[in-house]
Structure 1
Amino acid sequence: MILDLGIAGGMVWSVETDDFLGKCGLGKNPILTTIYKVLNGGDPILPTPPPATTASPGASSSTAAPATTAPPIGPSAHCPQEGYFPRGQCSAEYYYCQPYFYEWIIYSMSCPAGLVWHQDNCVYPSTSPECY
């Protein structure tokens, strides 16, 4: 409709209704992503979810990560149950553990710029006790 009318932009009244965490399986921010793509001449097809890594719950990681990256995800230490978990204190990086038979599917994710992961949400660092 925006393109049909020749309007130069659009507005979202309630941006918090977008799926910032990608929980619905359509990727992060599907509403804003579709608006951006349509207004910029792109295909309005939604992004695909991030690729999953599968590991055995009893396995441990023996490969050290470079100091500039987040530590590797070790399923036995980091997947005590299904759910979202931070990659570190006051970090924008987090992951989701999903059980799959006798293994875990682990989705690595990150908050938008300027936000950190705290209690199942991306929040401003000033509102997270871990960042004090």
Structure 2
Amino acid sequence: HLDYINLMAYDLHGPWESVTGHNSPLFAGLNDKTEVQRQLNVHASVSYWLRQGAPAEKLNLGVAFYGRSFTLRNVGDNGIGAPAGGPGHAGPYTYETGFLGYNEICEKLQFEKWNHCWDNEQQVPYAYRANQWVGYDDSESVTLKANFIKRYGLAGSMVWSIETDDFHGKCGEKFALLSTFNKGLEHDEVTTTTTNEPTTISTSTHHPESTSTTEEGTTSIWTSTSTTTEEPGPIKCFETGYFRDPEDCSKFYFCEGATMHSFQCPAGLYFDLSILSCNYPERVEC
């Protein structure tokens, strides 16, 4: 007779592996080839518990306020799935190799000029500089996870842990992740930050199949608008990847096996298959 089940949906990848991987991806990525690999994400974890009979109203999704870091074998190979030679360097506050609190990560981004990237398949950020690499959650990804919690009707969330948030506000707002997450859970509809220009996409040099990313602090400009179903929309999933709605260019889908995730571009934008992101209509063949 449990009151709540706290699902620790993090540490799904880390420096114990031989390639870089995100600590807590929302969805599977294109590098996830095996059935086991396709289960190492938030969506698959929550879906499994629900299929096994766990009541959604008793399930709390765990969200990490830290990242798992790696030391790259090749500084020019820095995407998700890049060869790694061990844990990343310890941070100035947590003193643990292979682990960086969000407060340490945001300072590296802001003051040490680390490169920020966004993985469109897994819907999470990562960052790198020289031979150091970290996969973590930021304000955008915790907003998406707040949306996920509400769409699946879960009880709520738990975080690990608030002392690794930016509690001094050195990078901006104090407790930036916790504040953003709370706002996301309070409101009925939450959207991610948009830029004045549509996001541009660049693909990791040595892993073209692995991830589409946005760099230098740009953000994904579309959000999921419906829960996952087996057969939503006018098309069905037969392979993993992105597909545009044949009847509405502002809608698109991400297929994960036979499961489809439905998305909607912001008003006035179309989904551009050439860059796997939303773009101005005049730049899109539709």
TM-score normalised by length of structure 1: 0.46
TM value normalised by structure 2: 0.24
